[in-house]
Chain A
Amino acid sequence: MQKPITEIVIVGGGTAGWITAGLLAAEHNVDKGVLAHDPKLTITLIESPDVATIGVGEGTWPSMRSTLSKIGIDENDFIRQCDASFKQGSKFINWRTGSQSKVTDSYLHPFSLPHGHQELDLCPYWLPHAEQVSFAEAVSSQEVLTQLGLAPKAISSPQYHFQNNYGYHLNAAKFSQLLTEHCTQKLGVTHIRDHVSQIINNEQGDIDKIITKQHREISGQLFIDCTGAKSLLLGEHLQVPFLCQKSVLFNDRALAIQVPYSDANSPIASCTHSTAQPNGWIWDIGLPTRKGVGYVYSSSHTNDIDAQQTLFNYLGVDGAAADKLDPRQLTINPGYRAKCWQNNCIAIGMAAGFIEPLEASALALIEWTASTLAQQLPPNRIVMDTIAARVNERYQQHWQQIIDFLKLHYVISKREEDGYWRDHRESNSIPDSLQAMLELWRYQTPSQHDISYKEALFPAASFQYVLYGMGFNTQLPTHVKPSMQQLAQRLFNDNQQRTQALGKNLPSNRELLDKVAQYGFPKL
């Protein structure tokens, strides 16, 4: 009988390492919230005391709710301990033209799918009304509700349930801390604080064991690389090549800072704000206690001094106040490893790849890879390559879609600045796949048929929200069936009514978070 895979070694902590540990333990070692007496997997996480985590990464997708639930973390504990707030999508400001025109240049890419999406794709039926109402407002209630600063649910909703789909904004360091405690105290994960000094292979070229600075020998059958940008195992040791995407998505620097609110009761924004800038864009994430702001930019188009000035202009600070600020600079290498799984090593998180956080895809990819590994854990080494091959295939499809989708935001912009914004529209920087889709979308709206594989990261609706938020022009359908027109009208009206009802009953974000602090969401 083949030796089953039971010894898992995760190298690296941070959100990648601990979410992976949590999901593996939850899938294989825990039943109905109780850790098995003799767990199937031995999970060891080695974390270097000499290497800091990246320290940013504060926006999640809605998938995080089911990830936390699966790992067994109570939503109230999570919100209270991680300074979390509710994220209902991303708001893009000044991406269309950036000029001070009469029309506000902003649109929302909400997390909720369009109303009635199981019955009908409303997008083509909205097209004739593009001048009167934005796509997001016509098909979802989140456009209006996020503008009003309202929360996605009320205190009486059970944990992780929603009125409108939501993810979170959170404090990354506190999140890692919570995950570490939960995994080590409740899920039986072994935590070793030590630095990797050597990686030893066996004769087949698999990783056999890790030697640490304090002379520990840690053997394993499956190694998970969560070492961040260093990609110590997959990139450095196993030499899996890196596919740089700088020619497509230029941003390779970030300047990040935390900013307090002027008043303890300032409203908390319902979504991540992304404001376009001369050479990149600025993220703005509202936690209950402070905001996280960062300028993501291209070092080929601007320099660090000018970038800092752009950030300070956004914050509205100058002179003496600006001198007190100490933003943190990060270097980003946009791109991903050709494979995430090589031999008996899989990379999760930044060790596999990284791209600018324009759609907060980093944590979502961690969740996808970790849950895929947990659900498809190879039974033994012989069949590991078969499973690795299909995980790699899906991984490559996800990355290709991320690159295309992020590039889309830039390609259809009409911002006039020389250099950066015009360069983004140069055809040699646009992937062929995206060019083909853009041509198709001139004549028909994005649909599920554009995506040839199942369980894509971004559904067709995401492309619709961005395309039409940016004011893209698609030819109107020539023939519309009356019965479908009627159905569409009913769905539009339903959405309006639902929006109004929710607008009356939902609390503001701060009100809801105060109630969570006091009462917590009920379990049912």
Chain B
Amino acid sequence: MSQHVLLNSIDHKDLKVITTRSAALGDNLWFSLTFPQEFRSVQAHYPIFFHKDTATGQFYSVALFGFQQNDNVFLSDQGWSASYVPLTVRRQPFLIGQQTVLEDGVERQQRVIHVDLDHPRVSESEGEALFLPYGGNTPLLDEVGEILEVIHHGLQDGQRFVDALIEYQLLESFTLDIELDNGQKNQMIGFYTINEETLAGLSADALAKLHQQGYLQAIYMTLASQSNVRDLLNLKNAQG
């Protein structure tokens, strides 16, 4: 269950957020959304693939943390073992809401921070404060605001990136067959990756267009990230 409310310094002056990473705090994720702006950091640790949202038929870039539901190989009692945690994970328990405000008599949509009061990270006793004693934002809250803005623009750009991949027929579905050292087998379906043959055959025109939009870099980051599958496998095997 979730309870999203508009964050404000009156009702929520004593609210704190626990920032450690653990399964109990909702980090046991199979994958999380990511976007081209973040690829450079993400590709250092996580495989980047694409996933189709069954409710809309739309594709999203995702950073992979494991091989099945509730399986994050980076998570242990010691916390999250990689040095970079993707922004859509770090933003929890906050999200962007839209608010209509009246500015000079004109109605405008404004992005505001919402918090999920039912999220396990939200507490009155533990964790870091969101507001200063006299009502200003703590540095944590300011950082959250920035993260949410980056995610907002990043996902919009990510949508255009995926549209470009589809336009040039660069997406293809694939099945990942895993066999662990202990003999356990996993099959991941419903994910998509970049077709390297099609990529290699793109015209100079197409490549120039992709480059202009910054998507050529995103494509190569995505391809480079695939070698992280082996690291995920090693981490999974180490768990026994």
Docked Cα-Cα span, A476 to B4, in Å, equals 64
Is A522 touching B52 in the complex (CB atoms < 8 A)? Answer: yes
Contacts of A522 in B (CB 8 A): 52, 57-59, 166
A524 contact from B54, B55, B56, B172, Cβ within 8 A: B172
Tell me, yes or no, whether A520 is within 8 Å of chain B by CB. Answer: yes
Query: A223 vs B58: C-alpha distance in the bound complex, in angstroms?
Result: 45
Flag if A156 contacts B166 (CB, 8 Å).
no
Let me know if B172 and A519 touch, CB within 8 A.
Answer: no
- Residues A371-416 near B (CB distance < 8 A): none
CB distance from B124 to the nearest CB of A (A): 40
Chain A residue contacts of B166, Cβ below 8 A:
522-524
- Chain A residues whose CB sits within 8 angstroms of the CB of B52 once the complex forms: 156, 522
In the assembled complex, the CB of A455 is this many whole angstroms from the nearest CB of chain B, namely 31
Asked whether A521 is an interface residue with its Cβ less than 8 Å from the other chain, the reply is yes
Contact B57 A524 (CB under 8 A): no
A8 CB within 8 Å of chain B: no
Instruction: List CB contacts (< 8 Å) of A475-524 with chain B.
Output: 515, 518-524
Q: Select from chain A the residue with minimum beta-carbon distance to B54.
A: A156
Chain A residue numbers with a CB within 8 Å of B55 are 155-156
Which residue of chain B has the shortest Cβ distance to A515 in the bound complex?
Answer: B56
Q: Say how far B155's CB is from chain A's closest CB, in angstroms.
A: 15
Q: Size band of the A side of the interface?
A: 10 to 19
**Whole-angstrom CA separation of A154 from B56 in the bound complex:** 9
Chain B neighbourhood of A520, CB < 8 A: 57
How many chain B residues sit at the interface, stated as a range, is: 10 to 19
Q: What are the residues of chain B within 8 A of A156 when measuring CB–CB?
A: 52-57
A518 CA to B55 CA in the complex, in Å? 12
* Chain A, residue nearest B172 (CB): A524
Which of A155, A515, A521 has the most chain B CB atoms closer than 10 A to its own CB?
Answer: A155
Distance, CA A518 to CA B166, complexed state (A):
18
A-B contacts counted at CB < 8 A amount to 33
Say how far A523's CB is from chain B's closest CB, in angstroms.
Answer: 5
Q: Which B35-70 residues have C-beta < 8 A from chain A?
A: 52-59
CB of B194 within 8 Å of the partner chain: no
Cβ of B59: which chain A residues have Cβ within 8 Å of it? Answer: 522
Q: Measured between alpha carbons, how far is A524 from B169 in the docked complex, in Å?
A: 9
With a 10 A CB-CB cut-off, give which of A519, A521, A522 has the most chain B CB atoms. Answer: A522
B202 to chain A, nearest CB (A): 14
Say whether, besides A524-B171, A524-B172, A519 and B54 are in contact (CB < 8 Å): no
Known contacts A156-B52, A524-B166; A519/B57 CB under 8 A: yes
Chain A CB within 8 A of B20 CB: no
What separation, in Å, do the CA atoms of A518 and B192 have in the docked complex? 23
Quick check: is B173 within 8 A (CB to CB) of the other chain?
Answer: yes
Cα distance, A154 to B166, chains bound together (Å)? 19
Whether the pair B57, A155 counts as a contact (CB closer than 8 A) is yes
A250 → B minimal CB distance (Å): 47
Question: Which residues of chain A are within 8 angstroms of B171 by Cβ–Cβ distance?
Answer: 524
Given the interface pairs A522-B59, A523-B166, A524-B166, the reply to whether A154 lies near B54 with Cβ below 8 Å is: yes
User: How far in angstroms is the closest Cβ of chain A from B171?
Assistant: 6
A146 to chain B, nearest CB (A): 22
Q: Is the CB of B58 within 8 A of A524?
A: no
Residues of A within 8 Å of B53, CB to CB, are 156
Mark B120-134 against chain A: 1 for CB-CB distance below 8 A, else 0.
Answer: 000000000000000
Residues of chain A within 8 A (CB-CB) of B173 are: 524
Residue of B nearest to A158 (CB): B57
A residues in contact with B172, CB < 8 Å = 524
Partner of B56, one of A155, A157, A523: A155
Q: Which chain B residues border A155 with CB–CB below 8 Å?
A: 54-57
CA distance in complex: A522, B169 (Å): 12
Closest residue of chain A to B53 (Cβ to Cβ) is: A156
Contacts of B58 in A (CB 8 A): 519, 522
Contacting residues, chain B, for A157 (C-beta < 8 A): 57
Contacts of A515 in B (CB 8 A): 56-57
The contact string, 1 if C-beta is below 8 Å from chain A, for chain B 142-174, is 000000000000000000000000100101110
Contacts of A521 in B (CB 8 A): 57
Q: Which of A139-183 contact B (CB under 8 A)?
A: 154-157
- A157 to B54: give the CA distance in the assembly, Å: 8
CA distance A204 to B166 in the complex (A): 53
Q: How far is the CA of A200 from the CA of B53 in the complex (A)?
A: 60
**What is the CA–CA distance of A524 and B58 in the complex, to the nearest angstrom?**
10
Give Cα A521 to B172, complex, Å.
16
The CA of A520 and the CA of B166, in the complex, are separated in Å by 13
Return chain B residues, CB-CB under 8 Å to A519. 56-58
Contacts of A523 in B (CB 8 A): 166, 169
CA distance A293 to B9 in the complex (A): 61
Complex: A523 Cα to B171 Cα, angstroms:
10
Give the docked Cα–Cα distance between A524 and B53 (Å): 12
A515–B58 Cα distance when bound, in Å, is: 11
Within 8 A of A (CB), among B49-97: 52-59
Nearest CB of chain B from residue A323's CB, rounded to whole Å: 46
Q: How far is the CB of A74 from chain B (nearest CB, A)?
A: 12
List 17 additional A-B contacts (Cβ < 8 Å) besides A522-B59, A524-B173: A154-B54, A154-B57, A155-B54, A155-B56, A156-B52, A156-B53, A156-B54, A156-B55, A515-B56, A515-B57, A518-B56, A519-B58, A520-B57, A521-B57, A523-B169, A524-B172, A524-B192
What are 7 A-B contacts with C-beta separation under 8 Å? Answer: A154-B57, A155-B57, A156-B57, A157-B57, A518-B56, A522-B59, A524-B173
Taking Cβ atoms with an 8 Å cutoff, the residues of B that contact A are 52-59, 166, 169, 171-173, 192
Which A residues fall within an 8 A CB radius of B? 154-157, 515, 518-524
Q: Please name the 10 residue pairs, one residue from A and one from B, whose CB atoms are nearest each other, closest first.
A: A155-B57, A156-B54, A522-B57, A156-B57, A519-B56, A523-B166, A519-B57, A156-B52, A521-B57, A155-B56
